[in-house]
Amino acid sequence: MKFSASQIAGLIDGVVEGNPEATVTGLSKIESGKEGTLSFLANPKYEEFIYDTKASIVIVNDTFSPSKPLKDSTTIIKVADAYACFAKLLEIYDKAVSPEPGISELAFIDPSATIGENVYIGPFAFVGRGASVGNNSYVYPNSFIDDACQVGNDCKIYAGVKIYRSTIIGNSCTLHSGSVIGADGFGFAPSSANDYKKVPQIGNVILEDHVEIGANTCVDRATLGSTIIKKGVKLDNLVQIGHNVQVGENTVMAAQAGVAGSAKLGKNMMVGGQVGIVGHIEIADKVMIGAQSGIPKTIKKEGSMLLGSPAYEADEYKKAYMGFRRLPQILSRLREMEEEIENLKSKLNG
C-alpha cells in the first residue's frame, strides 16, 4: 500500500514540511531508513540520523527544530507526540495486513459456541462447548479455546495459544503465541505416604480489557475463585503468574518475572525482568522493582523503588552495593591494620 505525506498527516493531525506528495510503501528505523519508507524521531539521542536518513517521510515532535539542513528528499510531519503517532500508524498498518474475517473450513467450532461478527478463525483452531468469541476478534491457526471460555470483542489470539476452560477474556486483549491461560495452579499437598497429592484447581482466570500477554507466558487458574489480571496490564514473554494472583490495573512486567500464588500486586507497578515475588503478600500501587530482585514480604509504601534480593529501597541498595564493590580494599586495609596492631603489641611486650 502507498500513502502520501498529506494522507499520513491527516490520519495523525500533523503538519507537513516538505513535499506533501512524497509517498511511502513501508516503515523503517530512522538510523537505517530506506527510500520510500516512513520513520519517526522522538528521542533526541537519535537526532543525528535525521540529517542522513534515506527515509522519505519522518514524523517528528512539533518542538523539533533542525540544527542543520535536512536532505531535499526528506519530508517531515510535525505532531504533538511523534512516538504516539507512529504507534497509531503501526496499529493501522497491522490492521491492514491482518487476515480477512472468515472461518476456515479446517477449524472446529462446537455447535453450541457463539461467534460474533467480522471474526477470523484460522485453520485447526478449536472453539469448545458453550464458548464465545466476540466481534472483530482474530483466532489464529492451532489455537485452543476450551469449553465455557469467553473471548471479548477486538481480541487477537495468536497461533498456538491455549485457553483452558471457563477463562474470561475482556475486550481488546492480545495473547501471543505459546501463552497458556488457565492451566492448573501449582497445588500439591504432602501425604502420609511421603509423596504429594494433587489439589484440584477448579477456579478460573479473568483477563480484563486491554490486557496483553507475551509469548510463552503462563497464567494459572485459581484453586477456588479467580486469578485476575486487571485492565491494561502488560505481561512480557516467559512470565509466570501463579494461582489466585491479582495483578492491578496498568501494571507492566518484563520477561521471566514470576509471581507465586495468592500474591496481590497494586496498580501502575513496573516489574523488571527475572523478578521473583513470593506468594500470599501484597504490594502497594506504583511500586517499581528492578531486574532480578526478590520480594519476600509485603510492600506497603506506595511508589517504592526496590532493588536486590531480598529487595529493599533502591537508594539504600546502591549505597550498600558501593560498599560491596570496595570490599576487597576494605579487607586489605583491615589486614594491614591487624599487622600494625600485632607490631605494636610486640613492641609493647618487648
pLDDT (tens digit per residue) in 98-109: 899 999 999 999
* 310 pLDDT more than 90: no
Instruction: Provide the pLDDT confidence category of residue 166 given band limits of 50, 70 and 90.
Output: very high
Domain residues for 26?
3-96
Same domain, 303 and 235: yes
Residue type, 148: A
User: From CA 76, how far away is CA 341, in angstroms rounded?
Assistant: 73
Nearest Cα residue to 53 out of 83, 75, 81: 75
Same domain, 133 and 261: yes
Q: Which of 73-82, 161-170, 189-198, 298-307 has the lowest mean pLDDT?
A: 189-198
Same domain, 122 and 143: yes
**What does the DSSP assignment read for 101-144?**
SEE-TT-EE-TT-EE-SS-EE-TT-EE-TT-EE-TT-EE-TT-E
pLDDT of residue 225: 96
* 324 pLDDT more than 80: no
**pLDDT tens readout for residues 120-155:** 999 999 999 999 999 999 999 999 999 999 999 999
pLDDT of residue 20: 95
Burial of 168 (0-12, 13-18, 19+ CB in 10 A): buried
User: From CA 156, how far away is CA 184, in angstroms rounded?
Assistant: 23
pLDDT of residue 102: 96
Same domain, 86 and 106: no
Same domain, 242 and 149: yes
Instruction: Provide the pLDDT confidence category of residue 312 given band limits of 50, 70 and 90.
Output: low
Residue 54's CATH number: 3.40.1390.10
Domain count, the chain: 3
Residue type, 268: N
User: From CA 265, how far away is CA 254, in angstroms rounded?
Assistant: 14
Q: Average pLDDT over the chain, rounded to whole?
A: 94
Active site residues per annotation:
243
Same domain, 201 and 123: yes
Please give the model's pTM, rounded to 2 decimal places.
0.83
Only one residue has cell 514473554, namely 237
The percent of residues above 70 in pLDDT, for the chain, comes to 99
Q: Pseudo-torsion of CA 108, 226, 259, 252, nearest 10°?
A: 80
Q: Which of 43-47, 85-89, 167-171, 322-326 has the lowest mean pLDDT?
A: 322-326
